[in-house]
Amino acid sequence: MTTYLRQLGYSVGRDHTRTLLRRMGLEAVFPKPNLSKPHPHNRIYPYLLRDLDVIRPNQVWCMDITYIRLAWGFAYLVAVVDWYSRYVLSWRISNTLEANFCAEALQEAIAEYGAPSIVNTDQGTQFTSQEFIGVLTSHNISISMDGRGRCMDNIFVERLWRSVKYENVYLKGYQTIPEARIGLTEYFEFYNKRRFHQSLDNKTPWQVYCQGLIEGLKGLPSITETIYLN
């Protein structure tokens, strides 16, 4: 805009142009960084992970939502991540920010891996909705929520989003939701079972998750360990 105004003969700098645009209420149309706006009437739960030692799989799960730019709009991606191993337990992609796709992702993870002790989310309307909270309370899962403006409280999901976008989404440039769903299915398989993590002592999230389960099953028949290893 500054260049355009100068070509019209106006002597103007970038800062002044920015000030004028702000006064007129003009801004670029793009999704804001904060997708987690709280609902004024929904209950907010305390953050339970401060000073907590997470020592096993399924002790704490965390969830978050990010957006994916498509050719004609945006899609929204939610993931359920095991805090101990960084293993992505389930995920869903949607063209809306309704709560149902978050509840579905959580229900799928519980059906596949059992209920965790704690689920940590932000304070967004999806995670404070009756639909989502109802899934947690029906399985006697403790509810933890980040403090407002404290993205570091859910740091492992934030790191996951960075990996997903820089290693897959930005490179692939998905045009449609079906295309994104296929590509992300391949990526999460790679992330879970073939991508080695330095923070996990150069193991994959799947290896750490399974090893943690095995250590928790010590004393059971060895065939149980074989099942989990496979």
Domain positions in the chain: 1-29, 60-229
Selected residue with higher pLDDT from 86 and 9: 86
pTM of the model: 0.76
**What's residue 152's pLDDT?**
57
What are 228's two structure tokens?
A: 């989990």
**Confidence at 136, pLDDT banded by 50, 70, 90:** very high
In sequence order, what are the residues at sequence separation of 6 or more whose Cβ sits closer than 8 angstroms to the Cβ of residue 136? 106, 119, 143
Class of domain 60-229: alpha beta
Strand partners, 70: 73
pLDDT, the chain, mean: 86
111-122 average pLDDT score: 96
**What's residue 115's pLDDT?**
97
pLDDT tens for residues 26-84? 665 444 444 555 555 568 899 999 889 999 999 999 999 999 999 888 999 999 999 99
Instruction: Calculate what percentage of the chain has a pLDDT beyond 70.
Output: 83
Alpha carbons within 13 angstroms on the beta-carbon side of residue 70 total 18
175-200 average pLDDT score: 94
107-130 average pLDDT score: 95
